[in-house]
């Protein structure tokens, strides 16, 4: 349930991103660092002390231990301290995951987990749906990108962290959760009762549409995305497609490396896909490093408010290099990169390490990427199962 964020991956493993039920752990926000941050990100904050003075923390602890009328757990108190440190950064993508949350996060990276099929973030102090995943319970129930969750099973959700919302929404397969939401343009709150399910999401699906147009849908950016995308691209090439629709709508992101590799299906080897900057200085430039199978093939990228993080990297790279037209709605606007730092007790710190910029030097954080042609998909379109964005892309490529 948090953002399936964009993550940078020097060792193994996400970005962001950042998916508990696709309610994902942004993020969204890219691989993982499993032991420590890369050396280029190890520069400490110069104005911070090397060690904190915990005397005041000990005073609070002693007062709790002495006066609290209830049961306290030393492990829970320590987890609370660590979570508070991460929250004090004031960054919605920097957070501490306890052992259970870390295990859930590892599970979701495989694209198979139990939930409702939606990704959450926190914006302006409220829990917001980044994207419902096509074909899964959240979308089928009618949830939309940018819906604000006000209640979970009748309980106030406005003061919850993303982690707390995740815990309340997740549950056994077949059980139900009721979400109350505020939607732009609606005068009153809406209520959705959703049955939790096992979510299995292939990262890439493809087909040939009428008029010999290739259609490639990227649902998430995982370890298998590059291989599957290149296989689909080779199939399109062999069948001499007239054009390609690349659909990254409602894709909250994932592995940074996967977005770079997908972009390289169009972007020529050696050309810039994105730059990472820290403190305003470029720390790494990511370049296409494989054959651009579909370079020169007319391409339209479908985007919407649920296209975040790694989706925005690919859309931005193809747009800046003049390799594709963007059609749909303005993207989510997540321009930061996270890494995971794993600790010996199986807990994890997810921390924002850099901002990313498109080849033209634009950071899209909180702004998103504008389509070349804006076409909305209305509530009526969703209800009637109409897709004017995909229909328009097909029409343009068939000309």
DSSP one-letter string for 318-354: HHHTTS-EEEES------EEEEEEE-TTS-EEEEEEE
**1 domain residue, yes or no:** no
Domain assignment of residue 22, yes or no: no
* Within a domain: 65: yes
- Kindly tell me the sign of the dihedral angle through the C-alpha atoms of 96, 100, 101, 103: positive
In this prediction, residue 4 has a pLDDT band, given cuts at 50, 70 and 90, of very low
Asked if the model's pLDDT at residue 316 lies above 80, the reply is: yes
Query: What 3-state DSSP class applies to 299?
Result: strand
Other Cβ atoms within 10 Å of 370 Cβ, number: 13
The Cα 204–Cα 201 span in angstroms is: 9
268-310 pLDDT, tens digit per residue, is 999 999 999 998 899 999 999 999 999 999 999 999 998 999 9
Q: What is the chain's length?
A: 399
* CA-wise closest residue to 304 among 202, 205, 185, 387: 387
Contact status, residue 258 vs residue 310, Cβ threshold 8 Å: yes
CATH of the domain at 329: 3.90.226.10
Grade residue 110 by pLDDT with cuts at 50, 70 and 90: low
Whether 366 is in a domain gets the answer yes
Q: Is the residue at 2 inside a domain? A: no
Of residues 378 and 85, more confidence is placed in: 85
pLDDT at residue number 107? 66
Would you place residue 267 in the very low, low, confident or very high pLDDT band (cuts 50, 70, 90)?
A: very high
For residue 372, tell me if it sits in a domain. Answer: yes
CA 127 from chain centre, in angstroms, equals 15
pLDDT of 41 over the 80 cut: no
Q: What average pLDDT score do residues 21-46 get?
A: 39
**Predicted pLDDT of residue 298:** 98
In this structure, of 122-131, 315-324, 354-363, the range with the lowest mean pLDDT score is: 122-131
In a domain, 15, yes or no: no
Distance of CA 79 to the CA centre of its chain: 25
On average, the pLDDT of the chain sits at 86
Most distant CA atoms of the chain, gap in Å:
77
Q: What is the pLDDT of residue 381?
A: 83
**Model confidence, pTM:** 0.75
Which band of pLDDT confidence, cut at 50, 70 and 90, is reported for residue 131?
confident
Name the band, by pLDDT with cuts 50, 70 and 90, for residue 371: very high
Q: Is 114 part of a structural domain of the chain?
A: yes
**Total structural domains in the chain?**
1
User: Which residues carry out catalysis?
Assistant: 309, 320, 334
CA atoms within a 13 Å half-sphere pointing along the CA-CB vector of 68: 11
Is 133 or 178 the better-scoring residue by pLDDT?
178
- Domain limits at 52? 39-398
What is the per-residue burial (b if ≥16 Cβ within 10 Å, else e) of 338-365? bbbbbeeeebbbbbbbbbbbbbeeebbe
Query: Out of 62-66, 177-181, 182-186, which region has the weakest mean confidence (pLDDT)?
Result: 182-186
Q: Are 94 and 351 in contact (CB under 8 A)?
A: yes
- State the DSSP H helix or E strand holding residue 132, giving kind and residue range, or none if neither: strand 126-132
């Amino acid at each position: 349930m948090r953002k399936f964020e964009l993550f940078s991956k020097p060792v193994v493993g996400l970005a962001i991103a950042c998916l508990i039920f696709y309610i994902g752990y942004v993020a969204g926000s890219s691989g993982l660092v499993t032991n420590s941050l890369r050396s280029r990100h190890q520069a400490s904050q110069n104005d911070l002390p090397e060690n904190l003075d915990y005397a005041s923390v000990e005073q609070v602890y002693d007062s709790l231990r002495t006066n609290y009328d209830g049961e306290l757990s030393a492990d829970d108190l320590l987890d609370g301290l660590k979570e508070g440190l991460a929250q004090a950064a004031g960054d919605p993508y920097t957070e501490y995951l306890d052992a259970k949350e870390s295990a859930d996060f590892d599970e979701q990276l495989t694209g198979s987990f139990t939930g409702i099929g939606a990704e959450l973030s926190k914006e302006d102090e409220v829990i917001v749906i980044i994207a419902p995943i096509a074909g899964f319970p959240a979308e089928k129930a009618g949830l939309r990108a940018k819906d604000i969750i006000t209640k979970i099973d009748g309980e106030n959700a406005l003061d919850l962290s993303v982690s707390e919302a995740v815990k309340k929404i997740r549950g056994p397969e077949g059980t139900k959760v009721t979400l109350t939401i505020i939607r732009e343009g609606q005068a009153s709150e809406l209520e959705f009762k959703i049955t939790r399910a096992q979510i299995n999401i292939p990262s890439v699906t493809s087909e040939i549409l009428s008029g010999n147009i290739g259609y490639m849908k990227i649902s998430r950016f995982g370890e298998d995305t590059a291989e599957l995308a290149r296989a689909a691209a080779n199939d399109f090439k062999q069948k001499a497609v007239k054009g390609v629709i690349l659909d990254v709508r409602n894709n909250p992101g994932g592995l940074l490396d996967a977005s770079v590799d997908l972009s390289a299906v169009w972007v020529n080897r050696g050309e810039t896909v994105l730059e990472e900057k820290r403190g305003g200085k470029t720390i790494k430039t990511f370049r296409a490093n494989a054959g651009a199978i579909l370079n020169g093939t007319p391409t339209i990228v479908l985007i919407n408010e649920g296209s975040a993080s790694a989706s925005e990297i690919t859309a931005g790279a193809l747009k800046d290099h003049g390799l594709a037209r963007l059609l749909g709605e303005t993207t989510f606007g997540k321009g930061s990169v996270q890494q995971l730092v794993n600790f010996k007790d199986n807990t994890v710190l997810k921390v924002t390490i850099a901002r990313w910029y498109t080849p033209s030097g634009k950071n899209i954080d909180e702004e998103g990427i504008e389509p070349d042609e804006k076409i909305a998909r209305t509530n009526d379109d969703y209800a009637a199962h109409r897709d004017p964005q995909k229909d328009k892309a097909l029409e343009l490529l068939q000309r």
